[in-house]
Structure 1
Amino acid sequence: MTALVATFFGIGNLRPAPGTWGSVAAVVLAVAAYEAGLALLVPVAAVLATVAGFWAVPRYLATSTSSDPSEVVIDEVAGQWLALSFTFIPLWSHNVEALTFGAWPGWAVPFLLFRLFDIWKPWIIGRADRRGDAAGVMLDDLWAGLFAGIGSVILAAVYHIWLKPMIG
């Protein structure tokens, strides 16, 4: 059970770039939930994945020789769902379908920003990653998800307030 949760049902065993595969799986599941009318499930799922990750990661690490094995992707899933929550809730409140042409930035931008912050690891994200423990495995991705979500909202505001009116 621990390995299933930590690897997000084996997604973390995909190569190359298991963290990216975990993020892609999280986006696909979130968009599917959104399109099924369950948009509010995304922030709930972020919380559940976070709790599950804080349960599974220390147990998984106890059996691993690495302090952050690449196959552990529950942290990416939790962080990605956190980032998506920032855009999915406003899209949902405005009755916008996630797969319409104009809504794709609502899931693509959080995905791209999350991957950027997760790989680059600036500031507090890197500090959490350098902890070298189970909490650090989870925290760096949660920080990356938070910053990706905030960045997505800022970029949406720039577009809707300044760029869109200028474009027409």
Structure 2
Amino acid sequence: MNLARAIGTVAGIGYLRPAPGTWGSLAALPLTWLLHVVGGFPLVLTAAAAIFILGVWATTVITEGSTSHDPSEVVVDEVVGQMIALMALSYPAWNMGIEITRLWPGWIAAFVLFRLFDIWKPGPVGWADRREDPLGVMLDDVIAGIFAALGVMVMAGVWHGVMGW
């Protein structure tokens, strides 16, 4: 397996069926947890940026000469998007010294919301997907991750602020 394919498929996870995008999102959960435990939010943010750059490169190489701009086995975009969604947990846990696993309801919300926005592709998520180029492949998941992170923050605000729990 060449380097671009290893990065794009996240070491072959993209070949898992059914729903390779969901498998890619699931792979991001332990990765983000490990990065957070080792280096906190700054490491999660830095790693997501690096993986984004590597993902654009890998997707460019993989799709060169292909009729598909977004092959289903390319799931590095889901990893980055899911990591962004989880940043809504990583930052407050790091900032307040909370063990990130204590925020487990947020992990579920981040996963579900990210998958929802990635599949549904509302507004700017769909715009990025319609670019039909490697940057668009990565950007639609970045935007879906931002939407999911915002959703997690709203849900946490309602749960802890409005409801007082």
TM-score of the pair, normalised by structure 2: 0.91
Determine which of 32, 50, 53 is the counterpart of 1:51: 53
Residues 40 and 90 in structure 2, CA contact (< 8 A), matched pair in contact too: no
Equivalent residue for 1:86, pick from 73, 85, 88: 88
Aligned-pair identity in percent equals 48
Residue 37 of structure 1 deviates from its aligned partner by 5.5
Q: In the TM superposition, what is the alpha-carbon distance from 1:87 to its structure 2 partner? A: 1.7
1:57-104 CA-to-partner distances (Å, cap 9, x unmatched) read 11110153312100001111111111111221101222221223xx10
Question: What residue in structure 2 maps to residue 4 of structure 1?
Answer: 6
Counterpart code for 2:123:
W
Higher mean displacement: 106-115 or 21-30? 106-115
Query: Which residue is equivalent to 1:112?
Result: 112
Match of 1:20 in 2: 22
Q: 1:27·1:81 contact (CA, 8 Å) conserved in 2?
A: yes
Runs of 5+ unmatched residues, structure 2? none
User: 26-35 or 109-118: which moved more?
Assistant: 26-35
Q: CA deviation at 1:39?
A: 4.2
Partners of 1:32 and 1:107 in 2: CA distance: 14
Post-superposition, which runs of at least 4 consecutive aligned residues in structure 1 deviate over 6 A?
Answer: none
Matched, 1:34 2:36: yes
1:121-136 equivalent positions in 2, closer than 5 A: 121-136=121-136
Is 2:88 the counterpart of 1:95? no
**Distance in 2 between residues matched to 1:106 and 1:35, nearest whole Å:** 17
Distance in 2 separating the partners of 1:41 and 1:99: 17
Counterpart of 1:119 in structure 2: which amino acid? Answer: I
Count matched residues: 163
Structure 1 gap ranges (5+): none
Amino acid across the alignment from 1:110: A
The AA in structure 2 aligned to 1:70 is: S
